[in-house]
Amino acid sequence: MTEKPNLLILSGFAGVGKDTVLNHLLSNDARFAPSISFSTRTPRPKEIDGVDYYFITRDAFEAKLKRGDFLEHTEFCGNYYGTPRSEIERNAKLGRITVLEIETDGATQVMELTDNYVSIFLAMENFETLEARLRGRATETEESIRMRLAKARKELLLLPRYQHVLVNYNNRAADVAKTISQLFFNEPLSYPELCVSDIEEFVQTLSKT
């Protein structure tokens, strides 16, 4: 018998608004719990160690990696990111679903390890919107924006690996969060217009923007 999924894999282009969607999901649906990743990135203003990430040095990250502490890990734009196994174990004991907000490389690793997940990719309607959102964040250097956009174009090709792709239109974060929960529990969708029906075709269209 297959077990009920206990992981929500949530990926999306950097700058697409994953954090806002995730905040809506976590504050409105107690069945989901976050997983705090380890990262070697420099904290952004307002980010808190132990809340947004556990910020650590490369040496400390590599030591944890050697010990096998991570379910998955990746190097993204020059920094390490990893999901500690302990986060999932803790949530599972409490009967809660762990949300893994991770990029495509880490997501692929998790998909190869287990079947107990629902996978969702958050996209936007075109790349101009993504660039505008990255610039609007005003925390990224030009170099970081360039790297994140280049990474997004590569990630685009991996969308067909996900079970669902949602478009995070401006001001629809709460609706997107509700849709994620409904997809996870196989419930009727309140906002079916947010779901991409043909992922291959969507990739083609987006790649031309």
Nearer to ligand 5GP, 37 or 179 (CB): 37
Q: Is residue 14 part of the contact set for ligand 5GP (CB under 6 A)?
A: yes
Q: How far is the CB of 41 from ligand 5GP (least distance, A)?
A: 5
Among 136, 135, 100, residue whose Cα is nearest residue 120: 100
User: Could you tell me which residues come within 8 angstroms of residue 37 by beta carbon, excluding any fewer than 6 positions away?
Assistant: 53, 54, 81, 82, 83, 84, 101, 102
Residue nearest to ligand 5GP (CB): 106
Least spacing, CB of residue 57 vs ligand 5GP, in Å: 16
Closest to ligand 5GP by CB, 103 vs 175, is: 103
Q: Do 157 and 121 form a contact (C-beta atoms < 8 A)?
A: no
Q: Is 175 in the site for ligand 5GP (CB under 6 A)?
A: no
Q: Tokens 């992922």 — which residue?
A: 199
Euclidean distance between CA atoms 125 and 5, whole angstroms = 29
Q: How far is the CB of 81 from ligand 5GP (least distance, A)?
A: 4
The minimum distance between CB 39 and ligand 5GP, in angstroms, equals 6
Position among 76, 117, 121, 184 found at the interface with ligand 5GP (CB under 6 A): 76
Report residue 97 CA to chain centroid gap. Answer: 15
The residue among 14 and 199 lying less far from ligand 5GP, judged by its C-beta, is: 14
Is residue 106 within the footprint of ligand 5GP (CB under 6 A)? yes
Name which of residues 23 to 52 contact ligand 5GP (CB under 6 A): 37, 41
Site membership for ligand 5GP, residue 72 (CB under 6 A): yes
Question: Which tokens in the block code for residue 5?
Answer: 């999924």
Cβ(179)–Cβ(150) under 8 Å? no
Query: Which residue's structure tokens are 């690793």?
Result: 109
Q: Does 103 bind ligand 5GP (CB under 6 A)?
A: yes
Residue 6: which residues within 8 A CB-CB, separation 6 or more? 88, 91, 92, 97, 98, 116, 117
Q: Where do contacts with ligand 5GP occur on this chain (CB under 6 A)?
A: 14, 37, 41, 72, 74, 76, 81-83, 101-103, 105-106
